[in-house]
Amino acid sequence: MKHFEANFDGLVGPTHNYAGLSFGNVASLNNAALTSNPKAAAKQGLQKAKSLADLGMVQGVLAPQERPDVYTLRRIGFSGSDAEVLQKAAQQAPALLNACCSASSMWTANAATVSPSADTRDGKVHFTPANLVDKLHRSIEPITTGNILQATFNNDRHFKHHQHLPEHTSFGDEGAANHTRLCNEYGHAGVELFVYGQEATNPSAVKPKKYPARQTLEASQAVARLHQLDDESCVFMQQNPDVIDQGVFHNDVISVGNQNVLFYHEQAFLNTEAKFDEIRRKMNTEMHFVKVATSQVSIDDAVRSYLFNTQIITLPSGEMAIIAPTDCQENPAVFAYLNELVTLGTPIKQVRYFDVKQSMQNGGGPACLRLRVAMNEQEVAAVNQNTLMNDGLFTRLNTWVDKHYRDQLTVKDLADPQLIIESRTALDELTQIMKLGSVYQFQK
């Protein structure tokens, strides 16, 4: 049977804005209060997704969330009509209004952790939405994320959906951004590498000093248990706390894997050699660890360019390609490195650049924008086919964006009562285009 690794990209929502909400994420803080362009953001994302589909990849789309989230604003005491709730929140608690308006669900690498059927004891594909408890604006995502995942992977025979982990910092879970599946072929059992930032229940364990470690070991272990993974197919590795303190808020800002390749910065992890030995032992195939030294690319350049927030994909020809943001072309050290990389004799043979600047300015590169789901052909056939990218969906979604999205938005506009009406009208139409049913609270 054929097997694939599908990428499900997050559609950027109509409220895409820069509010500086993510402490520890350098781009989010530096670009706070910039004017955003939701229309351009959505189109940049669609273009990347369509280009991967055109390369012969299985490519899907995940719907965005309903924002402003007036339900959370009501839950914390703002009352009246939707317009009144927004207006009162803007006057009394603007930071809370901003948190309830973020389009952050676009970064679907943080939507969930996914384990393919070849790795799980029951032979199903398992999904656990990330609780994202470290950031208020992201902690309001998991329930709707679960609804969207269930509407997209809507077949009990092949897909198993779990509830997100308990909403406590001990179980801080950021999903696939801290999870990499290594394997020989996508359809063969692989090794799932969970990278965590801190151990919540061990006060003497090392952790970052300045910025939060968003993922805990306890959360990663819980996901591995839920997904019915064997110990022999899991490796838990700690991220280097020093790089978290330099802006590496997720592991996918400092390393990325595909099949038997792990592309990483030499400062990415703790205990690197011992853990790589464990990976070698648990994998039944040769591994390529492609190391980038600090002398080649500094942590600062890696964080600015998002060299490691690239996607490594296996093209239908069997060759691997790197999908990089154009920011990597603009950084001389990183561009020189990538030009050299494709000549080094590793499985990575080409680099393709995409402009995803609207997302990059909030700290989300090509890899943040996608959730990987390795599937065999039966499982791909069981996916909601209206979520899969092709010429028709690309045209429909571009037309839909043109019709409903603004081309500029500032934090000041978030209380505009018209924005919530526009956003709901757009999402209602989207659920019809993608045949998702009623996934949003305003539809229930």
Q: Is there a contact between 67 and 442 (Cβ–Cβ < 8 Å)?
A: no
With CA atoms as reference, report the closest residue to 45 among 72, 80, 79, 14.
Answer: 14
- The distance of closest approach from Cβ of residue 332 to ligand SUO in the complex, given in angstroms and rounded to an integer, is 25
Q: Is 28 one of the binding residues for ligand SUO (CB under 6 A)?
A: yes
Query: If binding is defined by CB under 6 A, does position 306 make contact with ligand SUO?
Result: no
Q: DSSP for 227-239? A: TT--GGGEEEEEB
Residue type, 302: A
Tell which one of 8, 107, 196, 354 touches ligand SUO (CB under 6 A): 107
What is the sign, positive or negative, of the torsion defined by CA atoms of 212, 215, 217, 222?
positive
Tell me if residue 265 is catalytic: no
What is the per-residue binding string for ligand SUO in 134-153, x denoting contact by CB under 6 A? ----x---------------
Which entry of 179, 227, 250, 404 is annotated as an active-site residue? 250
Q: What's the DSSP call for residue 261?
A: E
The one segment of 348-356, 360-368, 394-402, 413-421 that binds ligand SUO by CB under 6 A: 360-368
Q: Is 239 in the site for ligand SUO (CB under 6 A)?
A: no
Active site residue 183: no
> Is 25 a residue that touches ligand SUO (CB under 6 A)?
yes
12-20, 293-301, 339-347, 384-392 -> range binding ligand SUO (CB under 6 A)? 12-20
Is 188 catalytic? The answer is: no
Span interacting with ligand SUO, options 50-58, 104-112, 219-227, 263-271, rule CB under 6 A: 104-112
Q: Which of 48, 50, 67, 250 binds ligand SUO (CB under 6 A)?
A: 250
Q: Kindly state the tokens that stand for 51.
A: 């280009």
Question: Binding residue for ligand SUO (CB under 6 A) from 64, 116, 197, 363?
Answer: 363
| Catalytic residue chosen out of the listed positions 126, 158, 368, 404 | 368
Contact (CB, 8 A) for 245 and 267: no
C-alpha 207/C-alpha 54 separation (Å) is 43
Using the rule CB under 6 A, is 102 a contact of ligand SUO? yes
- φ/ψ of 269, rounded to 5, equals -125, 170
Question: How are strands ordered across the β-sheet holding 159-161?
Answer: 112-115, 125-129, 159-161
Q: Show Cβ contacts of residue 250 under 8 Å, excluding neighbours closer than 6 positions.
A: 109, 110, 174, 177, 178, 214, 215, 368
Residue from 40, 70, 109, 118 touching ligand SUO (CB under 6 A): that is: 109
| Beta strand pairing call for 159-161 and 125-129 | parallel
Does 21 sit near ligand SUO (CB under 6 A)? yes
CA angle 352/355/357 to nearest 5° reads 140
The yes or no reply on residue 409 touching ligand SUO (CB under 6 A) is no
Stretch that binds ligand SUO, among 100-108, 181-189, 348-356, 387-395 (CB under 6 A): 100-108
Comparing CB distances to ligand SUO, the nearer of 120 and 359 is 359
- Closest separation in Å from C-beta 277 to ligand SUO: 29
Instruction: Please name the helix (run of DSSP H) or strand (run of DSSP E) that holds residue 334, with its range, or none.
Output: helix 332-341
Q: Distance (Å, rounded) from C-alpha 260 to C-alpha 284?
A: 10
Rounded to whole angstroms, the Cα distance separating 126 from 227 reads 6
Catalytic residue numbers read 174, 250, 368
Interaction site with ligand SUO (CB under 6 A)? 18-22, 25, 28, 102, 104, 107, 109-110, 138, 177, 250, 362-364, 368
